[in-house]
Chain A
Amino acid sequence: MTSRRAFVSGALATGAAAMLPRCVFADVATDSRFVLVILRGALDGLAAVPAYGDGSYAAKRGALAITAPQLKLDGMFALHPSFNQLHERFAAKELIVFHAVASPYRKRSHFDGQDLLENGTSTPKSAHDGWLNRTLPLLPEAKRRATDRIALALAQNVPLVLRGDARVGSWAPSRLPETDADTLQRIADLYSTDDYFASRLQAALAADQVADEGAGEGMSAGRRDPLNGLNTLAAAAGKFLAAADGPRIAVLEASGWDTHANQGAERGQLANRLRGLDQALDSLRTSLGTAWARSAVLVVTEFGRTVAVNGTAGTDHGTATCAFLAGGAVAGGRVVTDWPGLANSALYEGRDLRPTTDLRSILKGVLAAHLGAGEGGLDEQVFPGSRAARPVEGLVKS
């Protein structure tokens, strides 16, 4: 694992240093870590967080209802039985569960829904960059070092939420042998007149160097993971973020939540995936080590699913869903919701959980209080035209 590192330090020594983002080893004023986990495919919020205390819940959910939950949160809500670790976080007051949450998107296309979830506007495809990328220049941390040292996508390709003008890093475990240092040097020379390729290669090598230094054993690709390696990536993210001069922001993603058929209740395919998510979040916590105390991990999805079961023991595309905010920095142990209820008259378009909290209010609350992003920038640059969506206050410990 030393060849590539040797190349990077070699490049530094031979005058390419100016091209590489500089490491800052001390004087890190903002110590907060933020991880965004995007669940693609529309997580069923009523399965992840059953509203077992709602008078309409059991009848509406039919075979998918979990009527006697073990992992209760209060008299109304519980966590799905797969969420053992998350429930412990809740007991330790390190988890906030949000419910009846939605982005401004009100139709039911996955692809537009995800686009809007990530671009931070109120119209799909109206921006080619993501809200987290637009947040980066607003952070106090951005005055101290280059943005691609601050934010990292744990993926080969950067998801939309983190794409944009501010450079960011990306990293995923490789099963390919490393290219030797001499060849890499020659490729870097070949790219030197082409900024598109040059900037990407530099960012990749920088991320790889951090992985070499910080990670050690835990970064090999996991093959038996129900969420396509989310657990491995979460553990890696924790190690990246734990380093004193490591990134402060990471984005993870996992697909497979589109449960149109045979969704299952206490057990079944969705239960297995939720267990995978529970494990991955716990791996993230473990590998963050002492940095967990300064961390906030936000789990979001593009929209929810129908309240009623469909004809194939699953659920179709819906509207509001749940979200999670976990971490040592989180003022947790609470369910935050303006619960609309599940009675017919309360449903959105007669079929979906009605949204009562704008997801952007949660995002703004985290970005402002936890990462120190200025509120003016959040209302305009980051989430254009969102002034009406006031940040949820008090999400992190003061």
Chain B
Amino acid sequence: MTLDAVVAANRFGLGARPGELDRARGDARAWLQQQLVGTRPVPQEIGRLPASATIFETYSELRRDRKEAKADSAAAKRLLGALRQKLAPYYLDQVAARYRVAVGTQESFRERLVHFWTNHFAVSADKPQVLALAGTLENEAIRPHLAGRFADMLVAVETHPAMILYLDNQASIGPDSQFAQRRNRRAPAGDRKLGINENLAREILELHTLGVDGGYTQQDVTTFAKALTGWSLGIDRPFAGGEPGKFAFHDAAHEPGAKTILGTRYGQSGVEQARAVLADLARHPATAQHLALKLARHFIADEPPADAVERIGKAFRDSDGDLPTVHRAVLETPAAWASPAVKFKTPHDLVVSTLRMLDFVPAEPRQIAAPFELLGQRPYAPGSPAGWPDTATQWDGSDALLKRIEWASSVAGRLAGRDQPLNLGERSLGATLNERTRVAITRAASTEQGITLLLASPEFQRR
């Protein structure tokens, strides 16, 4: 079935590369399934990137400098500039590596799933503390667990420095912890108050696991936040200890005592307490339902059919969140193979599929990042812990469409002459290339215009 090959490469994958439809043609499902299991060597481009702990050294240096400069506001301003200058290259290198892999990979279903889970566990580079670390969450916490269990990915994410810093947990302190008590004895009243920060606890419940309708209360949020106190990094303040830039549990900051969350009593002490909560959240039926809906929305339709969601959710529950089993359930859902395509591409999808069709990645990291930003989806920067929206209404505004067309014509202007537009269209869209589009391309006044028409066509704008 040639249509299956098109769906496999464009809806499940990140868009057909030259020759890919031919490879997928034999057995499209098998071609996708073998991408789901087993581990893979770290792609070269990503292996070359510095790890989060190394990048954190730059943050520590900058923080020391800032302390010294505090008295002098001109020096402080210069430092802010230096901060951006030192951190931006890390960010851009991570972005460049991500998209070099996305464009070049032969296993783009696997890569799409990496992007999906990164977006599920979103941190945002528009927070300065996270700018240089955002991409490391994908490479250190998502990639290694893609063929493993959701529960393990969850722990890897919630202990990753980028997530801890993004949701402000590093200095969340139990009001009755040893640290708070010591401080209260020493410091006069009126000094800065110590206490919890609910942010991480709330977003774990609302976004990462149960979902907003998952049945938790404000009390659960507050209590879970207390269980998470002490989940921090090896940092020099407010408490010493741990390896710099790596997850560290600071027992002195942890709120002592048993906690009851969602009706379950957690009597564990220390770091094990919140770990036990996470383990229960990972296998909670509401989590299975929430994740199934997000996967179905991503691969089937903005409003996916209930039986498809149920099928994926059941696979999650029955396998205790074994991700290859869950991902295979998506593949085995008939609705996911329907034609024509109904998912309106996000800017991310549009740019990646265009570059894959053209087999082209700009040389400069800044150029790689630019089109995503111009079209409204700056890499690793969704601006909120909910991640980028996955429904058409968020992306299909009239002005957004015009910008897509403008970008298409500027890409076509740069790359015309590499290939005939009709060949490009056939090797990317196969039999789903519309007759109207075919005629329009044939009659185009130039190769450049032909490529623009192909990229602007309704069938290329969807997957």
Contact = CB atoms under 8 A, between A and B. Distances in A.
Nearest to B199: A260
B385 to A, nearest CB: 8
Interface string A83-125: 0000000000000000000000001111110000000000010
A207 interface: yes
A156 B400 contact: yes
Nearest to B407: A176
Given A111-B212, A186-B440, A314-B168, A201 B398 contact: yes
Interface string A148-181: 0000010111101001000001111011111110
Contact of B195 (A172, A184, A310): A310
Contacts of B196: 310-311
Interface in B383-401: 383-384, 386, 393-401
Contact of B456 (A156, A157, A190, A309): A190
Contact of B399 (A172, A193, A312, A313): A172
A204 B407 contact: no
Interface in B157-182: 167-168, 171-173, 175
B461 A197 contact: yes
A41 B386 CA distance: 11
A311 B400 contact: no
B410 A177 contact: yes
Contacts of B449: 182-183, 186
B192 interface: yes
B399 A170 contact: yes
A147 to B, nearest CB: 13
Interface string B191-223: 011111111001000100000100000100100
The CB with the most chain A CB atoms within 10 A, among B401, B408, B452, B456, is that of B401
Interface residues of A, number: 65
A44 interface: no
Contact of A191 (B195, B221, B409, B458): B458
Contacts of B436: 190, 193
Contacts, number: 164
A261 B129 CA distance: 12
B162 to A, nearest CB: 15
A16 B54 CA distance: 60
B188 to A, nearest CB: 14
B42 interface: no
Contacts of A63: 192-193
A306 to B, nearest CB: 9
A12 to B, nearest CB: 18
Interface residues of B, number: 55
Given A183-B409, A261-B168, A311-B172, A204 B398 contact: yes
Given A157-B397, A187-B405, A179 B374 contact: no
A215 B208 CA distance: 44
B376 interface: yes
B386 A312 contact: no
B282 interface: no
A128 to B, nearest CB: 8
| Those 3 A-B pairs whose CB atoms lie nearest each other, nearest first | A311-B195, A157-B397, A203-B398
Interface of A: 40-41, 62-63, 107-112, 124, 128, 153, 155-158, 160, 163, 169-172, 174-180, 182-184, 186-187, 189-191, 193-194, 196-197, 199-205, 207-208, 255-256, 258, 260-261, 309-314, 316-317, 349
Interface of B: 126, 167-168, 171-173, 175, 192-199, 202, 206, 212, 218, 221, 374-376, 383-384, 386, 393-403, 405-410, 436-437, 440, 444-445, 449, 452-453, 456-458, 461
21 contacts: A109-B206, A156-B397, A157-B395, A157-B399, A171-B399, A172-B399, A174-B403, A174-B406, A180-B409, A194-B458, A196-B396, A204-B398, A204-B399, A255-B383, A256-B126, A260-B198, A261-B197, A310-B198, A313-B192, A314-B168, A314-B197
